[in-house]
Structure 1
Amino acid sequence: MPDATPTTFGQLEPSKWPGERLGLPDDGPNSVGRIGRRIAAIAIDWGVAILIALLFAPYSSLLHSWVTLGIFVLMQIVFIPTIGGSVGHRLMGLRILPISGGWVGLWRPIVRTVLLAIVVPALVWDSDQRGFHDKVAGTVLVRA
């Protein structure tokens, strides 16, 4: 009888729901945060960064754009390990957890945020709805 264990990625059974292969529930607390909440959370974070950046540079300047990005990155790196997610994440009922369990630590927020800041990795998702930035950092965004 042939071995039923998959040997390549293409042989994996599709997930029944995002997070199934990670041992996460389909719905409710600790389920994978869905796209609507994610978009709202990043919009909140970006809006806060824009408002704070207005203290340092006029809105229509190139400097304002860079200051906004810097503030956005700083907020992610500071708030993920301290409150479990960004301000937007927490307002939308989300939090970031390491796949391995325990505390998210300091390096995961840095790696995740640098990749998020270059945008493209956040647009590449797997069947668990984890962006490339979450996969590399070993994290998952779940409902609180």
Structure 2
Amino acid sequence: MGVEFGHRGQRLGLPEEGPGSLARPGRRFAALFIDWALCMLIAYGLLSGGKAQSASNWALVVFAVLSVLTVGTVGFTPGKRMLGLRVLAEGGGRISLPRVVLRTLLLVVVIPAVVWDRDGRGLHDRLSRAVQVRM
């Protein structure tokens, strides 16, 4: 009938449900939306001088800086924290700063973030050897 691959995250040694399990796509998208809205507010209010077109360009820069600083230090962005998500290294523990920078650059490019594996991890997470889990 088909091949049984097990639950999402089983290959990584993660539980099927509860804390430490892989974050679901809906929560990840919602966290990204919250982070993007926050970055748009910062860019519009502080950096663009009230110009909407300029704000969207600055928001990408603010998003990249926010992501590197917050994921690199505490393991989550404000949106991820609000929704109970955390970014960890594949083996557990904090993700190193160079891997956070790589992950952020791939996320800003967008294409790697929308290519997923069977566990639901984006290519940006696979290449940086990171995993988004529930707290």
Shared fold by TM > 0.5? yes
Local SS of the residue matching 1:24: coil
> Do residues 92 (structure 1) and 83 (structure 2) align?
yes
> Do residues 40 (structure 1) and 30 (structure 2) align?
yes
Per the alignment, residue 78 of structure 1 pairs with 69
Shift of 1:14: 4.5
Q: 2:14 aligns with which of 20, 24, 42?
A: 24
Amino acid at match of 1:60: A
CA contact (8 A) 1:121 1:132 kept: yes
Q: 2:52 aligns with which of 39, 51, 60?
A: 60
Gaps of at least 5 residues in structure 2 are none
Q: Distance in 1 between matches of 2:124 and 2:4?
A: 21
Q: State the identity %.
A: 42
> Do residues 121 (structure 1) and 112 (structure 2) align?
yes
CA contact (8 A) 1:81 1:106 kept: yes
Go from structure 1 to structure 2 and tell me whether the alpha carbon gap of 1:79 and 1:20 turns closer, same or farther (over 3 Å shift). Answer: same
TM-score of the superposition, structure 1-length normalised?
Answer: 0.86
Q: CA RMSD in A?
A: 1.2
TM-score of the superposition, structure 2-length normalised?
Answer: 0.92
Q: Whose radius of gyration is greater, 1 or 2?
A: 1
Amino acid at match of 2:103: R
Q: Distance in 2 between matches of 1:29 and 1:102?
A: 14
Q: Which has the higher helix share?
A: 2
CA contact (8 A) 1:76 1:113 kept: yes
Q: Distance in 1 between matches of 2:70 and 2:38?
A: 13
Q: Which runs of 4+ in 1 moved over 4 A?
A: none
Count of residues in Structure 1 that have an aligned counterpart in Structure 2: 131
Gaps of at least 5 residues in structure 1 are 1-12
Shift of 1:85: 1.1
